[in-house]
């Protein structure tokens, strides 16, 4: 038989009993189940959760990097060129890209975040918001207004750690 | 049967018995499933269990039954239809036959006869037949394997169960369950009869062996090799759906309740309270107050809940035995232990 079996068996019973007591104990005493009763109480995801992608339209230059890097091909951009006033007085008017269409199809998106990573102009952000399911699958295609509205839910970027390398800039 | 000192006609007695039997089988099954299978298991896994149907999910069982009743009654094309359809009923019948012999009070019993223990042990193995029928007739290799495993296991654990009950029978000197209950509540320990004499005190080993065998008879988890869902896809129940699966399901938990009732009759003093408390005469059942016919079932129900909680607690805590470990445990540990227990009991019986 080797090692005596009974103490281990009793310890096993103790573990399940302990867990049960912990679950039955009221929440205010530090007990309760790990479960969140979702429709009745909302879970607060961590601030860097990948819930939905938000768009800051002014920053977008329609460079198409996100479109080309998307593994699912779920981003659609159309743009036209416009003349903008010069930066300095007397200069020539600048040519800028104006976004006509910026759609993300969340029915296709796999939340890899490559588009957010690859964007050189800080136009795409992760938001922890997760409640945007739709009865019709076509409604999961979010256009640029809707993507712009998600900007309100984007949390402030956490402060850099002490001793972290500062961003090099002009 | 002279319940409430009213003499009922035969048809009314029969009706009362049928109703009582149905309640005695379904009520424990429902309570066990909700309290232990739904809630206790969830709590032990740090979950809440069903919460939506009714307050704290208490109506969940009705929702589940409704779901099962709606499902299509399917049978495999090559199944032996007659046997396939009869099998769940045979298993459930075993439960009903078992409950027939359990005494719930001085007059509240279905039958009361001298070979009660013998009958109980004989009838409890009918469920093995049903399980074997289900496994064989399903035309499915998993079901067949599960059925064969179940048969092997149930036969192996029937023996220690019989032998452990023998200890109680020797000590009580009778096989009549009603008399066993009365003896436990009226005997005295060294002349002191304040607590009666529940046989768990002297037959503790037999009680342990009995509960372990019950666990195996019910194919509850440490002994659930026959229904091993990860390898055999629920064994003999694989091909059953809808209403027939529901019958298997009810039978499983009702049998757990009935075995707990029998264990409380054999070891914990059954429906009685120590007779010295109320000044009843153990030789005259008529001296027992009539309210015991209502109090007795409640006491039995309480004891049953405690014992099923034990069964379920063990079920939710332990991993599964391998087939050879399972057989070795029955033949090499439980049977010798219960044989030794019988011998010691017999020696003490003769000596005192």
**C-alpha closest to that of B165 among B131, B115, B128, B112:** B115
Best to test chain B binding among A33, A37, A40, A41 (most B CBs inside 10 Å): A33
Q: Tell me whether residues B318 and A35 touch, CB distance under 8 A.
A: no
pTM score, whole prediction = 0.78
Query: Looking at chain A, which residue has its C-alpha nearest residue B45?
Result: A19
Residue B44 Cα, gap to closest chain A Cα (Å): 4
Calpha distance B109→B114 (Å, rounded): 14
**Residues 6+ away with beta carbon under 8 Å from B338:** B160, B163, B164, B166, B167, B205, B206, B209
Chain A hits for B319, Cβ within 8 Å: none
Cα-flanking dihedrals φ and ψ of residue A55, to 5°? -120, 130
| Residue A1 confidence (pLDDT) | 53
Q: Tell me whether residues B314 and A23 touch, CB distance under 8 A.
A: no
| Residue A71 confidence (pLDDT) | 92
Residue B321 DSSP label: P
Residue B21 Cα, gap to closest chain A Cα (Å): 33
Q: Tell me whether residues B44 and A34 touch, CB distance under 8 A.
A: no
pLDDT under 70: residue ranges of chain A: 1-2, 167-170
Residue A36, chain B, CB below 8 Å: the answer is no
| Residue B2 confidence (pLDDT) | 47
Instruction: Give the nearest partner residue to A16 out of B48, B51, B316, using CB atoms.
Output: B316
Q: Tell me whether residues A16 and B46 touch, CB distance under 8 A.
A: no
Chain B hits for A20, Cβ within 8 Å: 40, 43-44
Q: Tell me whether residues A12 and B46 touch, CB distance under 8 A.
A: no
Query: Looking at chain A, which residue has its C-alpha nearest residue B316?
Result: A16
Q: Tell me whether residues B313 and A16 touch, CB distance under 8 A.
A: yes
Q: Tell me whether residues A22 and B318 touch, CB distance under 8 A.
A: no
Q: Tell me whether residues A34 and B317 touch, CB distance under 8 A.
A: no
Residue A35, chain B, CB below 8 Å: the answer is yes
Residue A12, chain B, CB below 8 Å: the answer is yes
Per-residue pLDDT of chain B (352 residues; tens, 9 = 90+): 445 456 778 888 888 888 888 888 888 888 888 888 888 888 888 888 888 888 888 888 888 888 888 988 888 888 888 888 888 889 888 888 888 888 888 777 777 888 888 898 888 888 888 888 888 888 888 888 888 888 888 888 888 998 988 888 888 888 888 888 888 887 777 666 667 778 887 888 889 899 999 888 888 878 887 777 777 777 788 888 888 888 888 888 888 888 998 999 888 888 877 777 777 777 777 677 777 778 888 888 888 889 999 888 988 888 888 888 888 888 888 899 999 998 988 888 888 7
| Residue B1 confidence (pLDDT) | 44
Q: Tell me whether residues B40 and A12 touch, CB distance under 8 A.
A: no
């Amino acid at each position: 038989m080797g090692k005596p079996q009974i103490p281990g068996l009793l310890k096993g019973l103790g573990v399940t009993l302990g867990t049960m007591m912990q679950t039955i104990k009221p929440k205010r005493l530090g007990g309760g189940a790990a479960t969140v009763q979702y429709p009745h109480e909302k879970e607060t995801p961590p601030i860097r959760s990948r819930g939905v992608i938000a768009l800051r339209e002014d920053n977008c230059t329609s460079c198409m990097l996100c479109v080309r890097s998307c593994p699912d091909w779920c981003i659609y951009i159309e743009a036209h060129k416009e003349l903008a006033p010069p930066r300095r007085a007397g200069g020539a008017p600048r040519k800028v890209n104006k976004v006509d269409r910026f759609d993300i199809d969340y029915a296709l998106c796999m939340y890899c975040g490559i588009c957010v990573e690859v964007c050189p102009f800080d136009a795409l952000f992760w938001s922890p918001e997760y409640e945007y399911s739709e009865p019709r699958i076509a409604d999961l295609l979010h256009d640029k207004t809707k993507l712009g509205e998600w900007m309100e839910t984007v949390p402030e970027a956490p402060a850099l750690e002490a001793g972290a390398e500062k961003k090099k800039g002009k | 049967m002279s319940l409430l000192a009213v003499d009922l006609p035969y048809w009314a007695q029969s009706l009362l018995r049928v109703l009582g039997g149905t309640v005695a089988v379904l009520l424990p099954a429902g309570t066990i499933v909700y309290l232990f299978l739904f809630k206790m298991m969830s709590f032990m896994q740090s979950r809440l269990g069903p919460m939506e149907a009714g307050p704290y999910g208490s109506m969940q069982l009705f929702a589940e039954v409704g779901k099962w009743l709606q499902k299509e009654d399917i049978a495999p094309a090559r199944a032996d239809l007659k046997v396939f359809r009869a099998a769940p009923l045979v298993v459930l019948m075993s439960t009903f036959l078992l409950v027939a012999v359990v005494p719930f009070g001085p007059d509240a019993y279905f039958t009361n006869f001298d070979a009660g223990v013998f009958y109980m042990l004989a009838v409890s193995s009918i469920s093995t037949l049903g399980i074997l029928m289900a496994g064989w007739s399903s035309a499915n290799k998993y079901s067949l394997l599960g059925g064969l495993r179940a048969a092997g296991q149930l036969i192996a654990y029937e023996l220690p169960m019989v032998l452990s009950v023998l200890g109680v029978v020797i000590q009580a000197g009778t096989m009549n369950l009603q008399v066993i209950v009365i003896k436990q509540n009226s005997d005295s320990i060294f002349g002191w009869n304040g607590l009666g004499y529940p046989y768990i005190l002297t037959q503790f080993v037999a009680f342990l062996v009995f509960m372990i065998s019950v666990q195996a008879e019910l194919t509850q988890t440490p002994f659930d090799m026959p229904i091993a869902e990860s390898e055999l896809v629920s064994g003999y129940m694989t091909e059953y759906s809808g209403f027939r699966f529901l019958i298997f399901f009810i039978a499983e938990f009702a049998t757990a309740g009935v075995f707990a009732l029998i264990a409380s009759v054999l070891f914990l003093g059954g429906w009685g309270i120590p007779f010295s408390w109320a000044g009843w005469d153990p030789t005259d059942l008529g001296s027992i107050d009539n309210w015991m016919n209502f109090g007795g079932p409640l006491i039995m129900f309480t004891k049953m809940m405690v014992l099923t909680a034990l069964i379920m607690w063990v079920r939710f805590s332990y991993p599964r035995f391998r087939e050879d470990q399972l057989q070795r445990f029955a033949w090499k540990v439980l049977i010798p232990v219960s044989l030794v227990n019988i011998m010691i009991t017999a020696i003490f019986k003769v000596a005192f």
